Chains A and B, each alone.
Chain A
């Protein structure tokens, strides 16, 4: 301890104090401050760049997700449209079929009715003609009877022949 105090040099202490404090102040102004500022700036820059990269990544993911959603929606919509269209088509076809069936059945009915009518008319005509014919025949027969007895017999014979033949 004695030696330590004996070795202590006031001059050296003085110079060291002056020089070292001066060095700290000088370095602070010309070295440490700019160096630490630059390092901080760079670190902040890196941090920001990383953060913005992360943001961009997230945004991309969001975008992708929304794209997917859009696609999905579109697909669903298309499917729905297709389904509707198919339904409408089926309905239209079935409606048309129904209508056609109705129309045909009506037509057939009409046709049957008119056929019946025609038939009735034809039958009536036939009856009328047969009646007329019968009247005519009767008239002729009556007329012939009036003229000759022989002929009248012949005629009746003839008619009868015809009738039996029929």
Chain B
């Protein structure tokens, strides 16, 4: 029974990969067939594609290609757009036609420009300033974007995975079963090697839920970013900011007297030093979660940019040597990125635990 499921899952993965590769083949073929682009043009195309790929989008498209008649064909599905613009505007992102048309909702017109929704008029005029930034007003965008959708899916996946695991324990006399056998060592690792040593035996239990959730969430979502589905969540500053701020809030909310004392009135140093240390320590509490945010964001973004640049070189070089070398390099980097995906999840969890530990630490009075 289990084998069957595994085979099915593998088939699905293989199928997805083959779609993606098929898509690349086709688009390249079509491109070559349509217009013989110069090397410079291809370079420019790749250069533009990479940041575009890293952005969030309002529809869930796995890949796109240009059809014979020069039209962009997207493979995917639209997602709901939710805007707050003196009232709630909800419509499907298919109205935008991937930024090619203006969406009308109620009395208002909206247009997509570089992944962002701007308020516009019926003609869809967008004005730009000197730095090529759109100056149109932006409605508050609470759309279920590709990233939000992915977060929901990952949340559902995690919920089913771990609630099933919990149920298996109940039905199986506290012994792990199936998926639990794989996940249990990780859960125990986080408890015994991250939470316990950093937070301490006395307090670690309160933080376990957050640490476990954040570890598996970042790990799974990082891994999803490496699939050819084209999902990138953790390279969004909003996502890492959110995670970091939760760590900050938990640290601050659960901090004991000693923590505040060490910030505002450092014991064991001369009084003038206490005044100097106060702002430094206070700043430190903000820098800690800030570093969490930037670390995760930068690592994943850099990984994606490098990996895609190397993949892009295949299209730029368009010869067997450059192609195969890029492929080899991309493969090695892909393996490295797999490691980074887990490593970043580990580091985030580890440092969060460390900060929680400092918040509840009880110092001996000097």
Cβ of B145 under 8 Å from chain A: yes
Asked if residues A15 and B142 are in contact (CB atoms below 8 Å), the reply is yes
When the two chains form the complex, which single residue of A7, A16, A28, A39 contacts B242, counting CB atoms closer than 8 Å? A16
Could you jot down 5 A-B contacts, CB within 8 Å?
A7-B238, A13-B238, A27-B212, A30-B166, A45-B174
State in angstroms the CA–CA spacing of A30 and B161 once bound together.
11
Asked if residues B241 and A11 are in contact (CB atoms below 8 Å), the reply is no
CB distance from B124 to the nearest CB of A (A): 22
Cβ of B226 under 8 Å from chain A: no
| B178-199 interface (Cβ within 8 A of A) | 180, 184, 187-188, 191
Question: Residue-by-residue, is B204-217 near A (CB-CB < 8 Å gives 1, otherwise 0)?
Answer: 01001110110001
- CB-defined contacts of B105 to chain A, threshold 8 Å: none
Q: Please report A residues at the B interface, Cβ cutoff 8 Å.
A: 4, 6-17, 19-24, 26-28, 30-36, 38-39, 41-42, 45
Asked if residues B151 and A11 are in contact (CB atoms below 8 Å), the reply is no
Given contact pairs A12-B148, A16-B238, A21-B246, A42 touches B210 in the complex (Cβ within 8 A) = no
When the two chains form the complex, which single residue of B144, B167, B184, B212 contacts A32, counting CB atoms closer than 8 Å? B212
Asked if residues A39 and B241 are in contact (CB atoms below 8 Å), the reply is no
State in angstroms the CA–CA spacing of A77 and B158 once bound together.
74
Asked if residues A38 and B166 are in contact (CB atoms below 8 Å), the reply is yes
Across the A-B interface, how many residue pairs have beta carbons closer than 8 Å? 125
Cβ of B337 under 8 Å from chain A: no
Q: Please report B residues at the A interface, Cβ cutoff 8 Å.
A: 55-56, 82, 133, 140-145, 147-148, 151-152, 155, 158-159, 162-163, 165-167, 169-170, 174-175, 180, 184, 187-188, 191, 205, 208-210, 212-213, 217, 236-239, 241-243, 246
Asked if residues A34 and B209 are in contact (CB atoms below 8 Å), the reply is no
State in angstroms the CA–CA spacing of A30 and B160 once bound together.
10
CB distance from A41 to the nearest CB of B (A): 5
CB distance from B79 to the nearest CB of A (A): 12
Interface of B, secondary structure class, is helix
Asked if residues A7 and B187 are in contact (CB atoms below 8 Å), the reply is no
- CB-defined contacts of A27 to chain B, threshold 8 Å: 158-159, 162-163, 209, 212-213
State in angstroms the CA–CA spacing of A147 and B164 once bound together.
167
Asked if residues B217 and A42 are in contact (CB atoms below 8 Å), the reply is no
When the two chains form the complex, which single residue of B163, B170, B188, B236 contacts A12, counting CB atoms closer than 8 Å? B236
CB distance from A10 to the nearest CB of B (A): 7
Asked if residues B162 and A30 are in contact (CB atoms below 8 Å), the reply is yes
State in angstroms the CA–CA spacing of A27 and B147 once bound together.
21
State in angstroms the CA–CA spacing of A108 and B237 once bound together.
134
CB distance from B31 to the nearest CB of A (A): 29
Nearest B residue to A30, CB-CB: B163
CB distance from B346 to the nearest CB of A (A): 18
- CB-defined contacts of B187 to chain A, threshold 8 Å: 35-36, 39
- CB-defined contacts of A45 to chain B, threshold 8 Å: 174
- CB-defined contacts of A35 to chain B, threshold 8 Å: 162, 165-166, 169, 180, 184, 187
Nearest B residue to A34, CB-CB: B166
Nearest B residue to A17, CB-CB: B242
State in angstroms the CA–CA spacing of A30 and B156 once bound together.
13
Q: Lowest 6 CB-CB distances: which A-B pairs, in order?
A: A31-B162, A38-B169, A34-B166, A28-B209, A13-B238, A12-B238
